[in-house]
Amino acid sequence: MTRKDLIVGNWKMNASHLEAIQMVQKLSYRLDHGDYDRVEVVVAPPFTSLRSVQTVIEADRLRIVLGAQNAHWEESGAFTGEVSAPMLAKLSVRHVIVGHSERRQGLGETDEMVARKARAIVEAGMNPIVCVGETLEQREGGEAENVVVSQVIGSLARLGPEAVASSSVAYEPIWAIGTGRTALPDDAGTMAGVIRETVSNKVSTEAAESVRLLYGGSVNAANIKDFMAKGDVDGALVGGASLDPDSFAAIVRYWV
Ligand code: PGA
């Protein structure tokens, strides 16, 4: 089983729809067909830019894939301020980030909520990118693996083996996000191995073979290669460095 590399730009709460159009166009100028053959390239702009970016991708026939940063678990209803998975699917969104630590920590998102969101995303025909990761305190207390394993089990709890197989799990140690401090590639590789083993034990060996495991946390053009060299790391979830098309393109072309 070969898992295609997956590199996702998480734009977080950045860029107007006009800026987003320029960013995705610039990114496309810097990538060529060979790059897309090797890497699935995803950008996840804020909701307000999805329609504009979708239009550019379709009009210019770009091979960049559209992602979103969150979805509610219900299909529709009285949920002020929320966006549902079927709404995203209609915009040709293919991957949806769920359980990012900025939502778990800042907005009280639990594994149960993440599990319900992941299920809704799969039911709408898209793929969840489930984020997990420990705090610095948990790492220093020797609990990192236990924390991550329990997040993986809790967050994937509502998905069957086939759905897990087409999902991704992003290991993002919280202390490495936006701090300029990365996990050691060896630690990221080890944790990816732990996650794959957890999926193998709790879901199925086939799902474990296919699920793509990403590293996230201060990834940049200089360090991406070291993470991608780890056998169980299939890609990256990139925040800050994905906002600059030059640096994101250099991350996508990590082997150059
Ligand atoms: P960062 O963010 O690359 O800016 O550290 C990563 C993420 O939060 O997905």
**Is it the case that residue 204 has pLDDT exceeding 80?**
yes
Query: What is the predicted pLDDT for the residue at 215?
Result: 97
Percentage above 90 pLDDT, the chain: 95
β-pair partners for 97: 129
Q: What is the mean pLDDT of residues 232-247?
A: 98
Q: Which of 256, 255, 246 is nearest to 9 (CA)?
A: 246
Show Cβ contacts of residue 226 under 8 Å, excluding neighbours closer than 6 positions.
Answer: 185
pLDDT digits (tens, 9 = 90+) for 61-83: 999 999 999 999 999 999 999 99
For 5-252, CATH number out of 1.10.3720.10, 3.30.750.24, 3.90.1150.10, 3.20.20.70 equals 3.20.20.70
Report the atom number in ligand 1 closest to the C-alpha of 176. 5
pTM comes to 0.97
Decide: 99 in ligand 1 pocket, CB within 6 A. no
181 lines ligand 1 (CB under 6 A): no
Closest residue by Cα to atom 3, ligand 1, is 239
Under the banding of pLDDT at 50, 70 and 90, the label for residue 89 is very high
Which residue in the list 100, 102, 109, 134 is annotated as catalytic?
100
162-165 contacts: CB < 8 A, separation 24 or more? 162/207, 163/118, 163/119, 163/122, 164/199, 164/203, 164/204, 164/207, 164/211, 165/206, 165/207, 165/209, 165/210, 165/211
Looking at the predicted structure, is the pLDDT value of residue 1 above 70? no
Looking at the DSSP bridge assignments, the partners of residue 71 are none
- Which atom of ligand 1 is nearest to 217's Cα? 5
69, 44 contact by CB (below 8 A): yes
Which one of 40, 102, 109, 172 is the catalytic residue? 172
Average pLDDT, the chain: 97
Handedness of CA 12, 13, 17, 18 (dihedral sign): negative
The pLDDT of residue 180: 84
To the nearest 10°, report the CA torsion of 53, 59, 61, 63. 0
Q: Residue 241 C-alpha to ligand 1 middle, in angstroms? A: 8
Task: Kindly give the residue spans of alpha helices, DSSP state H, lying in 175-244.
Answer: 185-202, 205-210, 224-228
Pairing of strands 168-171, 65-68: unpaired
User: Is residue 21 pLDDT above 70, yes or no?
Assistant: yes
Is 218 touching ligand 1 by the criterion CB < 6 Å?
Answer: yes
The domain locations on the chain are 5-252
DSSP letter for each residue of 121-165: HHHTT-EEEEEE---HHHHHTT-HHHHHHHHHHHHTTT--HHHHH
Query: Which amino acid would we find at residue 54?
Result: Q
DSSP structure class, residue 84: B
Establish whether residue 5 lines the binding site of ligand 1, counting it when its CB lies within 6 angstroms of any ligand atom.
no
Question: Quick one: tokens of 15?
Answer: 């860029």
Does the annotation mark 172 as catalytic? Answer: yes
Pick the residue whose CA is nearest to atom 1 on ligand 1: 239
Confidence of residue 245 (pLDDT cuts 50, 70, 90): very high
What does the pLDDT average to over 128-140? 96
* Mean pLDDT across 119-127: 98
Rounded mean pLDDT, 137-166: 97
Distance 215 CA to ligand 1 centre (A): 10
| Residue identifier of the C-alpha nearest atom 7 of ligand 1 | 239
What number does the ligand 1 atom closest to the CA of 241 have?
A: 3
Local confidence band at 178 (pLDDT 50, 70, 90 cut-offs): confident
Alpha-carbon distance values, 195 to 50, 162, 208 (Å): 31, 17, 9
> What pLDDT is recorded for position 39?
98
